[in-house]
Amino acid sequence: MNQFCKAFAFLMAALFLWAAYVQLNDPDPGTWIPIYGVAAAGSLLFAFGKLKSWVALLLAIAFVVGAFLYWPESFEGVRFGEKGMASMNIERGRESLGLAITALVFFFYSWRATGRRIS
């Protein structure tokens, strides 16, 4: 694995841990802390060359399914920078976006983990 991929995985692990931490004030932290915790753990496994391609792909698909399931009834944007929850549609939009980003990261991991050499 090249140094860029390893650095990217460590950065994503830190960002996923931060995402889990900020869920403490969310209305449903019991859902989101484990989701971002799994993403952080998967990122660390990838960084150390221990994440199997098929596991990364399975997680990516699960995150995509979650993004679709959390898609709001009426998309009102995500409006970052606002304190609190402006509306349930905005909150669900943010949650869906977070899952979509996580899915993209794990699709990348799956692609890079296929037949890679550890260096």
Assess whether pLDDT exceeds 70 at residue 102. yes
The answer to whether the beta carbons of residues 89 and 76 sit under 8 Å apart is yes
Q: Is residue 118 one of the residues assigned to a domain?
A: no
Output the pLDDT for position 85.
60
What is the token pair recorded at 10?
């460590």
Domain residues for the domain of 43 are: 3-113
Q: Is residue 61 one of the residues assigned to a domain?
A: yes
Average per-residue pLDDT in the chain? 86
Distance CA 113, CA 28 (A): 33
Assess whether pLDDT exceeds 90 at residue 88. no
What is the token pair recorded at 30?
């019991």
Q: Which residues contact 32 (CB under 8 A, 6 or more apart)?
A: 19, 20, 23, 26, 95
Q: What is the number of domains present in the chain?
A: 1
77 band by pLDDT with thresholds 50, 70 and 90 = low
Distance CA 109, CA 22 (A): 24
Mean pLDDT of 42-54: 95
Global pTM value: 0.85
Q: Is residue 119 one of the residues assigned to a domain?
A: no
